[in-house]
Chains A and B, each alone.
Chain A
Amino acid sequence: MSTSKTMAARMDAGTSKSTKGRFNSDLPQVWIGIALIAITGLMPTFLGNSYWVHTFHLVNIYIAAAIFQNFLFVDAGQKSFGQGVLLGLGAYVTAIFFGMHGYSFPAAALIGVFAAFLGGLLFALPALRVQYFHLGFVTLSAAIVFPQLLMSLDKWTNGINGISVALPWLHRPVFLGLSWLTIAVALYPMLALLLHYSIRNSRLGRQMRVAAVSPEAARTLGVKPGVMRFLAFIIASIGTGICGILYLPAVSFVSPQGFNLEMSFLFFFAVVVGGRGQLLGPIIGIWVVFILPNVGLVQYVDYRLLIYGTLTLLTVMLFPDGIVGSIERWRKSRSIRSRGEKAFRIDPFLERLKGRADQAPSETDYVVEVRNGVKRFGAVVAVGGVDMKVRKGEVHGLIGANGSGKTSLLNVLSGLSRLDEGSFLINGRDATRMPADSIANMGLARTFQTPRIFTQMSLWENLRIGLDARTGGSSADIQELASLLESEFAEDNAELLSHGQRRLVEVMRTVLKEAEIILFDEPAAGLSQGERADFSKLVRFLSRNMGKTVILVEHDLDLVWGIADTITVLEQGKTVASGKPDDVARDPAVQHMFVGGARA
């Protein structure tokens, strides 16, 4: 059965591509966005309408700021309500140095960007400690305080009177009637959009998104979530600061009222209304929440904040995913086909893996060594004095009843939790106090009982984060495997995968990472007989052909006895038996674990 199944699967793998639509529309959205910005940014000049020229200067600047908000909010998962402050810092500091102290505009602008960068640092610091609402409150209070601060520091800021600046050369037509300013404010949001797209499709961007959704998974892939947040804030603050510099010539005047809370809300609402995470979202969002109240309903301009709120509420009720998000959802539901059993399986790829010749486990080299490890959760002792040695290149089964401490031990080994007593070594180095990302970068990978699948990424990207987590270049075999996986799964939706398939995706991710030590946490739960057989083959391959060390926590004892070189049995956090499978099977302390003695 397995032969015919494998062949069928391979044949399907070859023919299944034609029916698939794009998984995400990021790239088309970028081009549509650039076209929209070009039209609205340049047309008013050609039509000679100076009112619209001025309006779209502001609109495009706000679009750029909203693009950075979108990046920060969705890709990095940081909910900041204070992006207006960063724009204000860029604008105000430039105005102070240019308008009041007579610095040249470029020099003042540099100082302005630097000020926005410092503001970003200020936001990033609390983000290292607090998240979600708490971070929202911190940034929100910055947005509330900022205009007050500008007023009370009137010695430097000119207080309520504000600062006027004149930059006539920027307004002079230079090309087809377009001024430098018009060109700059049209180009900048386009660049911001391209930047957002390229970050999202880079290793950094993928790691950021993983860290935003599951910091735990990110750490086991060698990523420090704090660094990701920090970088995101810095990128967004510099980008938003530049918006502030463009704001200055566009308005020719700054005053504290220009940078009140409303501005920060505008950017946030624009992202939500346009569609969180959609690249085109900020453009549509700003059009709706800014143009409509400020131009269409200009007589009610005093009620702007109320109108922003109402518009946001209405859009969110009518289009829960935002305007672009709802269109995108509709498009996806039309174009994506379910592939059922064939959505993800590993057997078509197993036979392509070649690897090196037979590699027997080492008899003398230990890659993992736990010495009297104790881990407590309050009064509960999860791991109570475990000693365990894992030889290089072996498959080490870790079995025991539910709650015997197997997963707790894996969490300790991968650095997600720390031993209270005892120590453990990885490759001879003491790793007891090492953070998870350092352990991951030493060449350890793991899977989780609840697979970490990122549904905003395509199935291929979900696998690719394994490649991203590598510390060195990949071997030829893995490169070949990766390109096969890419061509097969680049446009597939990971959301439709069944539970068992999700496990196999995580397993494949560790294969792509080519970690030296791989920890599997109940990988076979929910797998069918055929998939179990395939999984066993894969583990065998990892150990014997690639020389990897595998630690396997699993309840399927047949599977464990089929592939393990050594088996350690835990009971209530203690090692009760350890050794060769046959010896362990005869151990009376282990007999009760088998179904009717089936294993003995």
Chain B
Amino acid sequence: MLEVRNLYAGYGIVPVLEDVSLSVKAGEILLIGGENGAGKSTLMRAIAGFNKPDRGEVLLEGKPLQGMAPEAIAQAGLRLVLDGHRVFPELSVYDNLRMGAAARRGDQAGFARAVDEIYDVFPILKEKHRAYARDLSGGQQQMLALGQAFVAQPKVLLCDEPSMGLAQALLPPILSFLRKWAESGTAVVIVEQHLKVTAPYADSAMIIERGKVKFSCKASELDAKLASMETVAVAH
């Protein structure tokens, strides 16, 4: 579904990513980890068109996306949920969800169903559906941002640190929600620091270091692989 080939990107002439490739099939979750500043968020932003890749390809169902404007990429069916809960503070919770569906006009029934599903996973959003997004706590805004992406029903979902600012107990339900979402035919990429908690929900995993892919593996092997690298590092 989503394929990235030999991507180079950065800010101005500052290179951040070098030669990053990845692929995610429909129905699968790819987990991306790595230290802060390694370039994970830059990768997400480059795929979604917020900064223009210097080289390389981003393919959605085989069609190239690189060089397109972010809104055109969103229309094509790729959705990025940024860290630091970006919602529209001056709109109500419900209107924020409606904004999420702006890219798929005319499907009222589908929208209503999607909203119900969101309310099922995050009952607090239902309870506060009339409140302004600015009156939500930080964690609730993060839930809303996820909800916004969900009602858009993208083909590819990029999720930058979904756990940021959320109570720990909420992470498993969010991850199983993302799992279900993926299984309905969406390709999902999750950037996360909580690798241990997240890995069981993912299919494949990838660690980024200094802007390059350090390794990729099956998600089930991630733990072992990280542990073995740790012992190697200590032995040195």
Are A403's CB and B165's CB within 8 A? no
- Tell which of B10, B13, B36 touches A526, judged by Cβ atoms closer than 8 Å: B36
A499 to B230, CA, bound (A): 25
Residues of chain A within 8 A (CB-CB) of B229 are 1
Residues of chain A within 8 A (CB-CB) of B11 are 333, 338, 496
| Most-contacted residue by chain A among B163, B165, B170, B171 (CB, 10 A) | B165
Residues of chain B within 8 A (CB-CB) of A500 are 36-37, 193
A530 to B36, CA, bound (A): 10
Q: Given the interface contacts A336-B14, A340-B210, A527-B193, does A499 sit within 8 Å of B169 by beta carbon?
A: no
Q: Binary interface profile of A, 571-594, with partner B (CB < 8 Å = 1, else 0)?
A: 000000000000000000000111
- Tell which of B14, B139, B165 touches A333, judged by Cβ atoms closer than 8 Å: B14
Residues of chain B within 8 A (CB-CB) of A476 are none
Whether, in the assembled complex, A501 has its beta carbon less than 8 Å from a beta carbon of chain B, the answer is yes
Whether, in the assembled complex, A304 has its beta carbon less than 8 Å from a beta carbon of chain B, the answer is no
Are B193's CB and A529's CB within 8 A? yes
A336 to B164, CA, bound (A): 29
- Tell which of A4, A340, A556 touches B233, judged by Cβ atoms closer than 8 Å: A4
- Tell which of A336, A403, A407, A499 touches B36, judged by Cβ atoms closer than 8 Å: A499
Whether, in the assembled complex, B41 has its beta carbon less than 8 Å from a beta carbon of chain A, the answer is yes
Range class of the A interface residue count:
35 or more
Whether, in the assembled complex, A449 has its beta carbon less than 8 Å from a beta carbon of chain B, the answer is yes
Whether, in the assembled complex, B106 has its beta carbon less than 8 Å from a beta carbon of chain A, the answer is no
Q: How many A-B residue pairs have CB under 8 A?
A: 130
* Segment from B55-63, B130-138, B176-184 that makes contact with A: B130-138
Are A528's CB and B36's CB within 8 A? yes
Are B41's CB and A402's CB within 8 A? no
- Tell which of B13, B35, B165 touches A334, judged by Cβ atoms closer than 8 Å: B13
Are B197's CB and A595's CB within 8 A? yes
Are A407's CB and B137's CB within 8 A? yes
A525 to B13, CA, bound (A): 29
Which chain B residues numbered 144 to 194 have a C-beta less than 8 Å away from chain A? 161, 163-172, 193
A351 to B143, CA, bound (A): 38
Q: Given the interface contacts A1-B229, A529-B193, does A403 sit within 8 Å of B136 by beta carbon?
A: yes
In the complex, the chain A residue whose C-beta lies closest to that of B15 is A338
Q: How far is the CB of A276 from chain B (nearest CB, A)?
A: 19
Q: Binary interface profile of B, 1-41, with partner A (CB < 8 Å = 1, else 0)?
A: 00000000011111110000000000000000111111101
Are B37's CB and A343's CB within 8 A? yes
Whether, in the assembled complex, B117 has its beta carbon less than 8 Å from a beta carbon of chain A, the answer is no
Are B167's CB and A401's CB within 8 A? yes
Write 14 A-B pairs (CB below 8 A) sorted by A numbering.
A1-B234, A333-B12, A341-B34, A341-B36, A402-B138, A403-B124, A403-B140, A450-B138, A497-B37, A500-B37, A526-B83, A528-B193, A555-B163, A555-B167
| A residues adjacent to B (C-beta < 8 A) | 1, 3-5, 332-334, 336-344, 377, 380, 400-404, 407, 449-450, 496-501, 522, 525-531, 555-557, 592-596
| B residues adjacent to A (C-beta < 8 A) | 10-16, 33-39, 41, 83-84, 124, 131, 135-140, 143, 161, 163-172, 193, 195, 197, 209-211, 229-230, 233-234, 236
